Protein backbone atom coordinates (compact mmCIF):
# COMPACT_ATOMS: atom_id res chain seq x y z
CA UNK A 1 0.00 0.00 0.00
CA UNK A 2 1.33 3.45 -0.84
CA UNK A 3 2.11 5.78 2.03
CA UNK A 4 -0.28 8.65 2.75
CA UNK A 5 0.73 12.13 3.83
CA UNK A 6 -1.49 11.65 6.88
CA UNK A 7 0.59 8.70 8.10
CA UNK A 8 1.85 9.50 11.59
CA UNK A 9 5.35 8.14 10.98
CA UNK A 10 6.34 8.28 7.29
CA UNK A 11 8.75 5.57 6.15
CA UNK A 12 9.72 7.13 2.83
CA UNK A 13 13.26 8.43 2.40
CA UNK A 14 13.80 11.79 4.07
CA UNK A 15 14.48 13.74 0.90
CA UNK A 16 14.02 17.48 1.23
CA UNK A 17 13.24 20.16 -1.34
CA UNK A 18 13.10 23.93 -1.05
CA UNK A 19 9.84 25.71 -1.88
CA UNK A 20 9.47 29.43 -2.59
CA UNK A 21 6.07 30.58 -1.30
CA UNK A 22 4.36 33.90 -1.88
CA UNK A 23 1.78 34.46 0.86
CA UNK A 24 -0.21 37.68 1.06
CA UNK A 25 2.62 39.66 -0.50
CA UNK A 26 5.32 38.09 1.65
CA UNK A 27 7.99 35.79 0.23
CA UNK A 28 9.01 32.74 2.27
CA UNK A 29 11.56 30.04 1.58
CA UNK A 30 10.43 26.77 3.17
CA UNK A 31 11.75 23.23 3.33
CA UNK A 32 9.49 20.33 2.38
CA UNK A 33 10.17 16.59 2.37
CA UNK A 34 8.86 13.31 1.05
CA UNK A 35 6.18 11.75 3.22
CA UNK A 36 4.60 15.17 3.84
CA UNK A 37 1.75 16.72 1.86
CA UNK A 38 2.82 18.63 -1.26
CA UNK A 39 6.51 17.73 -1.24
CA UNK A 40 8.58 20.11 -3.36
CA UNK A 41 5.83 22.57 -4.23
CA UNK A 42 3.05 24.79 -2.96
CA UNK A 43 -0.11 22.78 -3.51
CA UNK A 44 -2.79 24.29 -5.70
CA UNK A 45 -5.47 24.36 -2.99
CA UNK A 46 -3.37 26.34 -0.53
CA UNK A 47 -2.34 28.67 -3.34
CA UNK A 48 -6.01 29.31 -4.12
CA UNK A 49 -6.76 29.89 -0.42
CA UNK A 50 -3.98 32.48 -0.10
CA UNK A 51 -5.04 34.29 -3.28
CA UNK A 52 -8.72 34.37 -2.35
CA UNK A 53 -8.20 35.76 1.15
CA UNK A 54 -6.41 38.46 3.07
CA UNK A 55 -4.50 37.91 6.30
CA UNK A 56 -6.63 38.39 9.42
CA UNK A 57 -6.70 41.94 10.75
CA UNK A 58 -8.06 41.07 14.20
CA UNK A 59 -7.56 38.32 16.72
CA UNK A 60 -4.36 37.05 18.28
CA UNK A 61 -4.59 33.25 18.30
CA UNK A 62 -4.78 31.14 15.15
CA UNK A 63 -4.71 27.49 14.14
CA UNK A 64 -3.10 25.92 11.08
CA UNK A 65 -5.03 22.65 11.00
CA UNK A 66 -3.18 19.91 9.11
CA UNK A 67 -0.11 22.11 8.82
CA UNK A 68 2.03 20.00 6.50
CA UNK A 69 5.42 21.71 6.33
CA UNK A 70 3.95 24.90 7.78
CA UNK A 71 2.88 27.15 4.91
CA UNK A 72 -0.25 28.64 6.48
CA UNK A 73 1.11 28.77 10.01
CA UNK A 74 4.27 30.56 8.94
CA UNK A 75 2.29 32.91 6.69
CA UNK A 76 -0.03 33.85 9.56
CA UNK A 77 2.83 34.46 11.98
CA UNK A 78 4.82 36.42 9.39
CA UNK A 79 2.00 38.78 8.45
CA UNK A 80 0.71 39.18 12.02
CA UNK A 81 3.65 40.02 14.26
CA UNK A 82 1.38 40.03 17.34
CA UNK A 83 -0.14 36.61 16.67
CA UNK A 84 0.33 33.22 18.28
CA UNK A 85 -0.17 30.32 15.88
CA UNK A 86 -0.75 26.67 16.68
CA UNK A 87 0.39 24.37 13.86
CA UNK A 88 -1.19 20.93 14.20
CA UNK A 89 -0.67 17.70 12.30
CA UNK A 90 -0.57 13.95 12.98
CA UNK A 91 2.47 13.49 10.73
CA UNK A 92 5.65 13.69 12.82
CA UNK A 93 7.78 14.59 9.82
CA UNK A 94 5.42 17.46 9.01
CA UNK A 95 5.76 18.76 12.56
CA UNK A 96 9.54 18.56 12.39
CA UNK A 97 9.57 20.51 9.11
CA UNK A 98 7.19 23.15 10.47
CA UNK A 99 9.46 23.66 13.50
CA UNK A 100 12.45 23.93 11.18
CA UNK A 101 10.72 26.44 8.91
CA UNK A 102 9.44 28.53 11.81
CA UNK A 103 12.95 28.71 13.27
CA UNK A 104 14.40 29.64 9.91
CA UNK A 105 11.96 32.55 9.61
CA UNK A 106 12.48 33.71 13.19
CA UNK A 107 8.97 32.65 14.24
CA UNK A 108 9.73 29.80 16.65
CA UNK A 109 8.58 31.73 19.73
CA UNK A 110 5.12 32.32 18.23
CA UNK A 111 4.48 29.17 16.19
CA UNK A 112 3.60 26.31 18.53
CA UNK A 113 3.93 23.00 16.70
CA UNK A 114 1.93 20.15 18.17
CA UNK A 115 0.07 16.90 17.79
CA UNK A 116 -3.70 17.46 18.08
CA UNK A 117 -3.91 16.19 21.66
CA UNK A 118 -1.05 18.46 22.75
CA UNK A 119 -3.07 21.65 22.27
CA UNK A 120 -4.45 22.72 25.67
CA UNK A 121 -8.22 22.35 25.81
CA UNK A 122 -8.51 25.91 27.10
CA UNK A 123 -7.12 27.44 23.90
CA UNK A 124 -9.67 29.15 21.67
CA UNK A 125 -8.90 30.34 18.16
CA UNK A 126 -9.76 33.62 16.50
CA UNK A 127 -9.15 31.92 13.18
CA UNK A 128 -8.68 28.40 11.84
CA UNK A 129 -6.95 28.07 8.48
CA UNK A 130 -6.84 24.75 6.69
CA UNK A 131 -6.52 22.78 3.52
CA UNK A 132 -8.15 19.85 5.31
CA UNK A 133 -7.12 16.24 4.62
CA UNK A 134 -10.13 15.27 2.51
CA UNK A 135 -8.64 11.88 1.63
CA UNK A 136 -8.94 10.60 5.20
CA UNK A 137 -12.57 9.96 4.31
CA UNK A 138 -15.86 11.72 4.98
CA UNK A 139 -16.50 10.28 8.44
CA UNK A 140 -12.99 11.08 9.68
CA UNK A 141 -13.10 14.55 8.11
CA UNK A 142 -16.43 15.35 9.76
CA UNK A 143 -15.03 14.18 13.13
CA UNK A 144 -11.96 16.36 12.62
CA UNK A 145 -14.03 19.47 11.91
CA UNK A 146 -16.44 18.81 14.76
CA UNK A 147 -13.46 18.54 17.10
CA UNK A 148 -11.93 21.89 16.11
CA UNK A 149 -14.69 24.22 14.89
CA UNK A 150 -16.28 24.44 18.36
CA UNK A 151 -12.96 25.88 19.55
CA UNK A 152 -13.45 29.06 17.55
CA UNK A 153 -13.70 32.10 19.79
CA UNK A 154 -16.69 34.41 19.63
CA UNK A 155 -16.45 36.25 16.34
CA UNK A 156 -13.87 33.79 15.02
CA UNK A 157 -13.95 32.16 11.62
CA UNK A 158 -12.48 29.20 9.82
CA UNK A 159 -11.15 29.47 6.27
CA UNK A 160 -11.12 26.13 4.44
CA UNK A 161 -10.12 25.26 0.89
CA UNK A 162 -11.59 22.10 -0.62
CA UNK A 163 -11.55 20.65 -4.11
CA UNK A 164 -14.93 20.74 -5.83
CA UNK A 165 -14.29 17.25 -7.20
CA UNK A 166 -13.60 15.97 -3.69
CA UNK A 167 -16.85 17.24 -2.21
CA UNK A 168 -16.52 20.95 -1.43
CA UNK A 169 -20.18 21.67 -2.15
CA UNK A 170 -21.44 18.71 -0.11
CA UNK A 171 -19.15 19.72 2.73
CA UNK A 172 -20.65 23.22 2.69
CA UNK A 173 -24.15 21.73 2.88
CA UNK A 174 -23.07 19.46 5.74
CA UNK A 175 -21.59 22.38 7.68
CA UNK A 176 -24.82 24.30 7.20
CA UNK A 177 -26.74 21.27 8.46
CA UNK A 178 -24.57 21.24 11.62
CA UNK A 179 -25.76 24.76 12.35
CA UNK A 180 -22.69 26.63 11.13
CA UNK A 181 -22.93 29.72 8.98
CA UNK A 182 -20.83 28.62 5.99
CA UNK A 183 -20.45 30.57 2.78
CA UNK A 184 -18.24 30.40 -0.27
CA UNK A 185 -15.82 33.34 -0.51
CA UNK A 186 -13.73 32.18 -3.44
CA UNK A 187 -13.57 29.66 -6.25
CA UNK A 188 -10.70 28.98 -8.66
CA UNK A 189 -8.98 26.12 -10.44
CA UNK A 190 -11.50 23.57 -9.19
CA UNK A 191 -11.30 24.63 -5.53
CA UNK A 192 -13.80 26.30 -3.24
CA UNK A 193 -12.79 28.57 -0.37
CA UNK A 194 -15.29 28.27 2.47
CA UNK A 195 -15.68 30.59 5.44
CA UNK A 196 -17.23 29.10 8.55
CA UNK A 197 -18.32 31.49 11.28
CA UNK A 198 -17.77 30.78 14.97
CA UNK A 199 -20.63 29.28 16.92
CA UNK A 200 -23.15 26.91 15.41
CA UNK A 201 -26.61 28.45 15.12
- Residue 2: the pLDDT is 38
Q: For the chain, list the strands marked E by DSSP.
A: 16-23, 26-33, 61-65, 84-88, 111-114, 125-130, 152-163, 182-188, 191-197
Cα Rg of the chain (Å, integer): 16
The helix/strand count (H/E) of the chain reads as 5, 9
- Residue 198: the pLDDT is 79
> Each residue of 25-63: pLDDT tens digit?
999 999 999 999 999 999 999 999 999 999 999 999 999
- Residue 201: the pLDDT is 58
- Residue-level pLDDT, tens digit, the chain, 201 residues: 334 444 445 555 678 999 999 999 999 999 999 999 999 999 999 999 999 999 999 999 999 999 999 999 999 999 999 999 999 999 999 999 999 999 999 999 999 999 999 999 999 999 999 999 998 999 999 999 999 999 999 999 999 999 999 999 999 999 999 999 999 999 999 999 999 997 765
- Residue 11: the pLDDT is 56
Q: How far apart are CA 192 and CA 18, in angstroms?
A: 27
- Residue 14: the pLDDT is 78
- Residue 41: the pLDDT is 96
Q: How far apart are CA 197 and CA 20, in angstroms?
A: 31
Domains in the chain, CATH or no CATH each: 16-197 (3.40.50.150)
Q: What's the predicted TM-score (pTM) here? A: 0.92
Amino acid sequence: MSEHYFSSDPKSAYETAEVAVSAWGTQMQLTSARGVFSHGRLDLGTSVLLRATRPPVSGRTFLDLGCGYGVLGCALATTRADATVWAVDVNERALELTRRNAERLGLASRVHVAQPDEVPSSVRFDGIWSNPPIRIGKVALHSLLLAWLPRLADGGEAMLVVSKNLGADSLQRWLDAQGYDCDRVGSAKGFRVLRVLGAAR
